[in-house]
Amino acid sequence: MTLANPEQLSTLMDIYTTLGYDTAKLDEESKGREWIELGFQCEDPASDFRGTGRLGLLNLHYFAKSDTPKAVKLLNEANLTEQHYFFACGGINFTHKLLFMLAEEKVKIHTFENCNDKEDALHRFNLLYSKFFEDFHQYWMNSNLKTSI
């Protein structure tokens, strides 16, 4: 994925501002340290979407927009030093894991059998993704594991 794509850049910037970050802190190429605070691996988040591409971006966007107060709360908790995990990278990995689980039929495929169209399938996948994200977060925060993922 490249940030040169205006639609993807717009979606990424919407995630950034929705989660409470100020675009004025980014440089002219939309890079900055704040991406790391949001849970990306470096100041250029585009490289983190390898393996999930646009779907990883759409899932993360849906999660941030569907319940913003909850997403901000989880982001803040994910940044706690004792139980830190990379929020955005975690979310991207959840997309990858769910795709793998679907391919291996470890997730009930009937959830998607009666979809009306691509948008309906994406909506159902987003709901599954959000539940997966929330369940992981709760598990991690309650696990008393004091290391980073």
Mean of the per-residue pLDDT values of the chain = 89
Helical segments of 19-117, H only: 34-37, 53-66, 68-78, 87-103, 110-113
Average pLDDT over residues 45-72: 94
pLDDT digits (tens, 9 = 90+) for 93-137: 999 999 999 888 877 777 788 888 999 999 999 999 999 999 999
Q: Find, among 38, 32, 39, the residue nearest to 3 by Cα.
A: 32
pLDDT digits (tens, 9 = 90+) for 80-94: 877 889 999 999 999
pLDDT of 139? 92
Q: How many residues does the chain have?
A: 149
CB 87 within 8 A of CB 79: yes
- pLDDT top residue among 47 and 18: 18
